[in-house]
């Protein structure tokens, strides 16, 4: 209500002062940095956070205290949200009339829970959606709500009678209540925690502060955010998700009209995991060799396919040949069912995705063989896997886990966070740093520059003074 107050001079630092017309009290707004002390340390702290420095090392190198670092993290978190929110309000324009590919997956981040004589960890899920060609991270979310106390939620659910209802019919179904979450922790880690340890009111409550979001709700919430940011002005949007994530159903439910209109394709990607680097490299060599051999063996078929579809390349023409052999000449519903259930085993292994299988969930007959082949040759979740690898290399608390000398069972990790609230804050800061401040490739451009959201690198001074 601008009419409720008026300008009332300036503060000693030159910021505009306002006066409320009703109560006559004055207030000022100023810049986001107006109450910050030691502002020269903020850049060093941010660079340390995204370059895998532990909190204790940051305190040592920047010569500040732990409370000071935590206050800077809060400041950086809010600035990254505000800056990205202003720029990404027009993110949908970057995909107007285009056919973008997005890859979505989740990684587990372990948070330490220290107990005298025992150590345990709380898993949080970090889900990200990455645009393939630019590597822009559209969304990065955590299945954790720091503002809801699990015991208060338990009381509210008990008063509403939620525990007597199926979960789908509950009033409070978004979050895990304290009792059900503790039971799940006991089931997962029976050798560490017992029911007596986690009894209501006990001293070993998990996760300690805040509440975890239910898995299915988390999937839908993440994809609703992606849908909001991406918009619907694209020509065709292609979503590739990990086969183990269960995300395909969430995307199909949220975008059912676009799927029916042929504007959205959804594929589940699976490949061999847990292989050594040498095993993956050997498969990649085998895949390249097979690709060269089959280009020569099926040269006549490929030439005929390129006459039929003049705008496709050799790899895509070879994919058309494989698809026709795999799916056969039967009616389209049979092709769609086969691709959705059995899928296509991609024979040309890559080091990133060896022995890959692609299950296209949305083949309803609107794509001809050339369009289907173009999708199959581009379908991948490597972009999001690459981002998760970057997150593990750049954030100390996101590493898979470093056992201490006294604890070789990997139930407590040396550099993991103790406060779960740190995870969403650091995920937001890293996403911003990757999208706007970290130039990559020969062109030395950030993902935001490749998409057209930024003309150049966003520097620290631009971020700290925004608002």
Global pTM value:
0.86
The whole-number pLDDT of residue 179 equals: 80
Per-residue pLDDT reduced to its tens digit, 241-264: 998 878 999 999 999 999 999 999
CB of 95 closer than 8 Å to CB of 231: yes
CB of 140 closer than 8 Å to CB of 427: yes
The whole-number pLDDT of residue 392 equals: 94
Rg (CA), the chain: 26
The whole-number pLDDT of residue 201 equals: 33
- Backbone phi, psi, residue 158, to 5°: -65, -40
For the residues of 22-73, what is the DSSP string, one character each? Answer: TT--EEE---TTTT-SSGGGHHHHHHHHTTT--HHHHHHHHT--HHHHHHHH
The whole-number pLDDT of residue 1 equals: 79
The whole-number pLDDT of residue 199 equals: 40
The whole-number pLDDT of residue 31 equals: 62
The whole-number pLDDT of residue 192 equals: 54
Looking from the CA of 159 toward its CB, the CA atoms found within 13 Å total: 6
The whole-number pLDDT of residue 405 equals: 55
Q: How far apart are CA 354 and CA 424, in angstroms?
A: 31
The whole-number pLDDT of residue 334 equals: 87
Which residue numbers in the chain have pLDDT < 70? 13, 30-39, 113-120, 185-208, 330-331, 401-413
Per-residue pLDDT reduced to its tens digit, 330-381: 667 889 999 999 999 999 999 999 999 999 999 998 889 999 999 999 999 9
Residues 6+ apart with CB under 8 A from 37: 68
CB of 269 closer than 8 Å to CB of 356: yes
The whole-number pLDDT of residue 357 equals: 96
Q: How far apart are CA 48 and CA 37, in angstroms?
A: 18
Q: How far apart are CA 128 and CA 352, in angstroms?
A: 18
The whole-number pLDDT of residue 418 equals: 81
The whole-number pLDDT of residue 330 equals: 66
């Amino acid at each position: 209500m601008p009419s409720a107050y008026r300008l009332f001079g300036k503060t000693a630092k030159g910021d505009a002062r306002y006066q409320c017309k009703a109560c006559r009290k004055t207030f000022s707004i100023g810049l986001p940095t107006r109450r910050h002390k030691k502002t020269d340390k903020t850049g060093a702290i941010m660079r340390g956070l995204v370059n895998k420095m532990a909190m204790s090392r940051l305190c040592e190198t920047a010569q500040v205290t732990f409370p000071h670092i935590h206050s800077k993290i809060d400041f950086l978190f809010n600035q990254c949200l505000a800056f990205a929110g202003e720029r990404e309000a027009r993110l949908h324009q970057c995909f107007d009339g285009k056919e973008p590919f997005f890859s979505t997956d989740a990684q587990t981040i372990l948070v330490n829970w220290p107990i005298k004589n025992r150590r345990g960890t709380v898993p949080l899920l970090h889900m990200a959606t990455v645009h393939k060609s630019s590597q822009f991270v559209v969304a990065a979310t955590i299945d954790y709500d720091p503002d809801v106390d699990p015991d208060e939620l338990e009381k509210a659910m008990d008063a509403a009678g939620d525990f007597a209802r199926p979960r789908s019919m509950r009033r409070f179904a978004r979050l895990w209540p304290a009792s059900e979450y503790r039971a799940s922790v006991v089931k997962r880690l029976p050798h560490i925690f017992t029911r007596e340890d986690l009894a209501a009111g006990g001293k070993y409550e998990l996760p300690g502060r805040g509440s975890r979001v239910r898995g299915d709700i988390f999937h839908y919430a993440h994809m609703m955010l992606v849908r909001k940011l991406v918009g619907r002005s694209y020509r065709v949007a292609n979503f590739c998700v990990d086969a183990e994530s269960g995300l395909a159903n969430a995307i199909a439910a949220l975008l059912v009209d676009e799927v029916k209109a042929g504007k959205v394709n959804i594929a589940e990607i699976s490949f061999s995991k847990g292989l050594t680097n040498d095993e993956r490299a050997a498969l990649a060599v085998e895949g390249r060799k097979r690709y060269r051999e089959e280009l020569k063996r099926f040269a006549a078929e490929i030439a005929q396919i390129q006459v039929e579809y003049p705008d496709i390349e050799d790899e895509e023409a070879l994919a058309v040949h494989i698809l026709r052999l795999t799916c056969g000449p039967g009616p389209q519903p049979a092709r769609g069912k086969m691709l959705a259930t059995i899928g296509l085993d991609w024979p040309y292994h890559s080091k990133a995705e060896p022995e890959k299988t692609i299950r296209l969930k949305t083949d309803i007959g609107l794509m001809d063989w050339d369009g289907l082949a173009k999708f199959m040759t581009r379908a991948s979740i490597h972009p999001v896997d690459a981002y998760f690898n970057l997150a593990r290399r750049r954030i100390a608390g996101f590493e898979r886990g470093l056992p201490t000398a006294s604890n070789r069972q990997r139930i407590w990790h040396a550099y993991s966070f103790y406060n779960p609230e740190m995870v969403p804050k650091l995920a937001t800061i890293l996403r911003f740093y990757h999208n706007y401040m970290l130039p990559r490739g020969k062109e030395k451009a950030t993902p935001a520059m490749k998409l057209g959201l930024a003309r150049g690198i966003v520097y620290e001074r631009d971020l700290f003074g925004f608002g």
